[in-house]
Chain A
Amino acid sequence: MNYTSHVVVAACAVLAASPALAADPDLKILREEIAQMKAAYEQRITTLEAKLARTEAIAIAADDSARQASVAASQKPASEAAFNPGISAVLAGTYTRLSQDPNAYAIGGFVPTGGEVGPPRRSFGLGESEIGLSANIDHLFRGQLTFALPPEGGGAEVEEAYIQTLGLGYGAAIKAGRFLSGVGYMNGQHAHTWDFADAPLAYKAMLGGQLKNDGVQVKWLAPTDLLVELGVEAASGGPFPSTDRNKNGSTMGSIFAHVGGDVGNSNSWRAGFALLRTSPRDRQYADQDSTGASVNNAFSGSSRTLIADAVWKWAPEGNASSRSLIVQGEYFRRHESGSLAFDVDSTNQVGDYASLQSGFYGQAVYQFMPHWRAGYRYDRLNSGTTSLDLVNNGTLTAANFPLLASYKPRRNTLMVDWTPTEFSRVRFQLARGQSRPNATDNQFWLQYIVSLGAHGAHNF
């Protein structure tokens, strides 16, 4: 536009300046017309230039205010709290009716684990309240701290406190600290995410509820479309089935493998296998002798547990909002051999000990409509026949070891739960437990479990 008008003006100027044609009257008119045109063009150019200048000024002002606005928006007040970890809490409470005294709870044929495996106290009871803190520590590590506040008081317990690597590479991951072991299917999950109010009998008898130790875990994921995960853990002993050995090196070792994948859009599965090995020393438990007096016995030797687990989940098109089914089962087999000391506090008679014990549970949980699920679980254990040299050679009688008398504990459990949102759940549970001879325990549970704060992970 500007260029064209310049050319026109220049052309006109050349014409106007031509002296040879100055005398012609027509030309004079022409010249005047051109002069007018020139003036008109100049005026238009000036107007345009003014307009442009105005627009530029507006644009600069707008740009300025936009920059100011974006700077203002990007400024957050400085605060020490800006790097607070994600905080979550789990609250739980129960109302129970139990036909047997929960304080006398025992699993027949199995050595007591010392863990909190019995049902909660009768009537209203507070479950364990849990507080969790988690955050990335830096670009290499993530940390998680979970402490549990037992309802009976006695201070907070460190449930889990570990660090784990963030994408170490080659599918490897390392965890260190106190954490739930990767063996089995349910062991790695927090109790509040379980589908029933309490652990299967096999977990109670073989792992004292749930296996967690202070140690290191290394996992490796194969670069395949089928999930193949291998893991190894080394830990200092302490909780059942190990004992604190006060020695260098690890006291408890485990290896595990998981495979898993999908079948179509509607099914997912995972299967696992684990071996757990430890050598407890002086692992004490309380029993009664033949006269009914309480005695403390102690086992020393080696303990090997094998665990096989499998879970299958179904939901139409993988959408579990209205209907879904979870079927899972785990099998445990434990071999312990070594020596057993009878009445360590007085006679302290020692003899060889060997046991081969097994157990399993199988359960199915069906979601029949949005937010409502129903489930059934069957538990069974087999204590096998414990071989005791002290009894075999006639030093003592089997009546001196009532807890080790051969028995097959079993339990049937039904539950219905209502999960209005992913943060809250109310559960009804009925169980008929025959975990010890001649004492069928009919249990009714009403339980709530809620989580608040940071969004929990949707574990498989």
Chain B
Amino acid sequence: MRILILLLASLFVLPAQAALKIFSTVPEWGALAKEIGGEKAEVFTATSGLQDPHHIQAKPSLIAKARNADLVIATGAELEIGWLPLVQRESGNPRIQTGQSGYFEAARHVSLRDLPTRLDRSEGDVHPGGNPHIQTDPRNILSVGTALVQRMAELSPEDAVTYQANWKSFGERWRAAIARWEKQAAPLRGQPIVVQHRAFPYLEDWLGLKQVAALEPKPGVEPSAAYLSKLLVQTAANPPKLILRAAYQSPQASEWFAHEAKVPVVIVPFTVGGNERAKDLFGLFDDTVDRLVRALK
């Protein structure tokens, strides 16, 4: 009995630690939190770059991690609606409940695009709050980071100075990198492209790409062969320069279309960890811009 009490007591003592424990739903915010937190943050990322962040189950490992988290960073805009609310409830952790300071939604800090004008499930996977794939524009990373560093400083005031310093250094390098990417991507401006899933409105806005079609007839609905053939005819007059697809999406439709239309498929990492080179946020955009520019040549 005494041993049992000691064991239970030791379990309660365990959570005492120095670093802020962060649970990030997707890799990009995990990477951002690492940039800001440095040594003073322990970051767990719930999904990898090869998973669709919408189709995730409230796995035991996620519930266990959320139990001890000080801060949950989610994208929001209903991206994680299928599993995060359940993880929050099952965790029994009051800090990370919606509305608490330990719950942070990135999408609240950027202006969202593709706000649906019609909310109906027959329109496919529509997100009532707007398109949640905000991480494809590096300027959004800055907006989210500015809010995130404040939140992290509020949760861990003793590390606030470190967070601010890390953020300042990251911000300078990031702005310089944006200027570099924009210069490199200048030839992409105004180029017609086709996307597999409507996942890139922010990237298109940033680089001035012109989306002429999406292979999915409705968001999240796989195209039929007949639909693809129809698209092929439609785009023949103004042929796209490339087809854009995220690493986690299935290849069939874009491969077929690329073969028929004789244009290259660009598989962008989409998030940190989406491919070998996208090891961090800088790598993510280095690789994305390189691939796009290379496809144009």
- Interface positions of A (Cβ within 8 A of B): 139, 142, 164-173, 219-229, 258-262, 265, 268-270, 313, 317-322, 370-371, 421-423, 452, 455-460
> Is A221's CB under 8 angstroms from B92's CB?
yes
Closest Cβ neighbor of A261 among chain B residues: B61
Taking CB atoms, residues of chain B closer than 8 Å to A221 are 63-64, 67, 90-92
Q: Which of B60, B82, B89, B250 contacts A173 (CB 8 A)?
A: B89
List B residues at the A interface (Cβ < 8 Å).
11-12, 14-15, 47-48, 50-52, 55-61, 63-65, 67-68, 78, 81-83, 85-86, 88-97, 99-100, 121, 125, 220-222, 248-250
Nearest A-chain residue to B44, judged by Cβ: A225
- 12 of the cross-chain contacts (CB-CB < 8 Å) are A167-B93, A220-B92, A221-B67, A225-B64, A261-B60, A265-B50, A269-B60, A318-B48, A455-B78, A455-B82, A459-B57, A459-B86
**Assuming A167-B91, A258-B60, is B81 touching A455 (CB within 8 A)?**
yes
Number of cross-chain contacts by CB at 8 Å: 135
The 10 A-B pairs of least Cβ separation, nearest first, read A260-B60, A167-B94, A227-B60, A227-B64, A458-B82, A317-B50, A171-B92, A262-B61, A457-B86, A167-B97
B94:A166 contact, CB within 8 angstroms:
yes
Contact between B60 and A268, CB atoms less than 8 A apart: yes
Asked if residues B99 and A139 are in contact (CB atoms below 8 Å), the reply is: yes
Chain B minimum-CB-distance residue to A453: B121
Note all chain A residues with C-beta closer than 8 A to B15: 223
- Inter-chain contacts of B65 with A (CB < 8 A): 225
Chain A residues whose C-beta falls within 8 Å of the C-beta of B85 in the assembled complex: 457
A227 to B60: give the CA distance in the assembly, Å: 6
Bound-state Cα–Cα, A219 to B85, Å: 18
CA–CA, A457 and B57, complex, Å: 8
User: Of the candidates B11, B57, B250, which one forms a contact with A223 in the assembled complex, judged by CB atoms under 8 Å apart?
Assistant: B11
Known A-B contacts A164-B89, A318-B48, A318-B50; the reply to A460 vs B57 at CB < 8 A is: yes
A167 touching B58 by the CB < 8 A rule? Answer: no
Let me know if B59 and A268 touch, CB within 8 A. Answer: yes
Q: Are B92 and A172 in touch, CB under 8 angstroms?
A: yes
* Residues A170 and B61 in contact in the complex (CB < 8 Å), given A320-B55, A421-B221: no
* From B11, B56, B99, contact of A222 by CB (8 A): B11
Q: Output the nearest chain B residue to A168 by Cβ-Cβ distance.
A: B92
Bound state CA distance, A321 and B12, in angstroms?
39
A residues within 8 A CB of B99? 139
Known: A224-B64, A270-B60. A173 touches B90 (CB 8 A): yes
Q: Which residues of B contact A172 (CB under 8 A)?
A: 92
Residue in B57, B121, B221, B250 whose beta carbon sits within 8 Å of that of A322 in the complex: B250
Does B51 lie within 8 Å of A319, measured CB to CB? yes
CA distance A228 to B14 in the complex (A): 15
Q: How far is the CA of A173 from the CA of B243 in the complex (A)?
A: 48
